[in-house]
Amino acid sequence: MDSFTKPLWKVDNSACGIAGFFNLDKKIVSGKKIVKMICTMRERENGLGAGFAVYGLFPKFGDYYCIQLIMEEIEGLPPTKERVEEFLKNHVEIFKEEKVKVNKNVFREYPNVWRFFVYPKDDKVDPDDVIKDVVLKINRKIDGAFCLSSGKNMAVFKGSGWSYEIAKFYRIEEIKGYMWSAHSRFPTNTPGWWGGAHPFSILGHAIVHNGEITSYGTNVEYLKELGYTCDLYTDTEVLAYLFDFFVRKSGYPKNISQQIACVALSPPYWRDIDRMSPKLRKWFTAIRITHRRGMANGPFSIIITTDYPKLAMIGHSDRKKLRPLIAAISESGSTFYLASELNAIHEVDDTMNYWQPDPGSAVIATEEGIVKYGQSRDLEELERLLK
């Protein structure tokens, strides 16, 4: 049997489908809608991986980090759950733990899915940093365990299979939340490796990614300097860590850090920066020069869902937009959608208004509404905000 928690081959080339929606009024809805969206784009997957991220599913335990894991037993070692628990107890207080209910009739073999609600013991250290290190250590050091997600009031459900199988396995339609993202995968390899599916998540960020990062080698070196080690053999990992650094560790003002992160990940061409007003040129030049090795090159479209510094759903693409991404807002203005293909959005809401975000330009929706459309009108707004 292949391992669920460790990659079999360290090769992962592919094309995929991504989708997400965000109820800006934080209305809780069941996973039925996201399953419909992702399963519609069946040409974009080949049955080798799918996953879902959901925000708002643990309203009662919102103050605790939810460490959600898949586990399998390793011959010659004590039960994996015991080893995980022992490790966790050294760093965090476990407030509550539970087995995640799964549908046993989907896969012949599947890992054990478990979640712990925890909080760091040491109050002198940034709790986010403690959890980040705990997650990275579990994934690297504990054989047979892989951490799916570690944020507050959010969780990731993913595995190897068709999107409808993963949805059925994790009983996604019974889960409720206000922000959802999903991924269906078309890799050229890596069957069996559940951890390699998307969303890729660290703390409150979850990323679904369609594309291939050609700057991976450069980004990994940059992240090494910033205190992130990449060895999960998925290029999506670098996007998650870069985003985490820009919004959480760079010290940038909270109400523009998500925007700066998006510019750094996929900055405008120099020829466009040269044509900007002196004020904007100064900002964009500074971001491009300072974070030059944090730029993600190669074809990608991504959906970032995050709760830091504030709840947001971000759609972003490479500067040539070599992967599709479409944005939409429901007629009432209360639900924001992102998807690889328009049909995924039509499937659940045919009254919405949709638009194509420009290449390399992020679209950002927060509880206050759409703060960035991924179109040239964003620059006027920025001009106002920046000195």
Partner 1 sequence: MMDRKLPKYKVEIDYDKCIKCGRCATNCTFGAIVYDREQNKPIVKDTSNCVACQRCVTFCPVGAISITPYPVVYPAHGTWTPYHIRAIDEQARTGRVLLAGTGCDRPYPCVFDYLVWDACQVTNPAIDALREPVETRTFLGRKKRTIKIKEIAEGCYDIEDLPPGVMLSTPLLIEHMSLGALSYNAITAMLMAVTEVGTLMGTGEGGLHPNHYKFKKNIIAEVASGRFGVSPDYLNVAAIEIKIGQGAKPGHGGQLPGEKVNKLISETRGIPIGTDALSPNPQHDIYSIEDLKTLIDALHEATEYRIPVGVKIAAVNNVAPIASGIVRAGADFITIDGFRGGTGAAPRVIRDNAGIPIEHAVASVDQHLTEEGIRHKITIVAGGTLRSSSDLIKIIALGADVGMIGTAALIAMGCRVCQQCPTGKCAWGIATTDPVLSQRLDVNWAAQRVANLLRAWTHDLEEVLGTMGIDAVESFVGNRDRLRYIGPNPHEAQILGVKHAGERIRLGGH
Report the SS3 class of residue 75: coil
- Rounded CA gap, 60 and 42, in Å? 35
Q: Does 276 bind partner 1 (CB under 8 A)?
A: no
Q: Does 13 bind partner 1 (CB under 8 A)?
A: yes
- Rounded CA gap, 43 and 305, in Å? 24
With CB under 8 A as the contact rule, which of the stretches 10-18, 93-101, 158-166, 327-335 interacts with partner 1? 10-18
Cα-based angle 4, 150, 190 (whole degrees, multiple of 5): 25
Q: Which of 42, 91, 171, 282 binds partner 1 (CB under 8 A)?
A: 282
Indicate the Cα dihedral angle 66, 70, 73, 74, nearest 10°: -100
Q: Where are the beta strands (DSSP E) in 24-111?
A: 29-30, 50-55, 65-71, 92-99
Binders in 65-124 for partner 1, by CB under 8 A: none
Q: What residues form DSSP beta bridges with 317?
A: 301
With CB under 8 A as the contact rule, which of the stretches 81-89, 160-168, 295-303, 347-355 interacts with partner 1? 295-303
**CB atoms < 10 A from the CB of 319, how many?**
17
Q: Which is nearer to partner 1, 125 or 386 (CB)?
A: 386
Cα-based angle 82, 83, 86 (whole degrees, multiple of 5): 85
Q: Which is nearer to partner 1, 91 or 319 (CB)?
A: 319
| Dihedral pair phi/psi, residue 3, rounded to 5° | -80, 145
Binders in 297-356 for partner 1, by CB under 8 A: 297-300, 319-320, 322
Q: Does 191 bind partner 1 (CB under 8 A)?
A: no
Q: Which of 23, 153, 236, 361 binds partner 1 (CB under 8 A)?
A: 236
Is-catalytic flag, 230?
Answer: no
Q: Which residues are catalytic?
A: 16
Site residues, partner 1 (CB under 8 A): 9-16, 183, 185-188, 198, 209-218, 220-222, 224-227, 233-236, 250-253, 255-256, 269-271, 282-283, 285-287, 289-290, 292-293, 295-300, 319-320, 322, 385-387
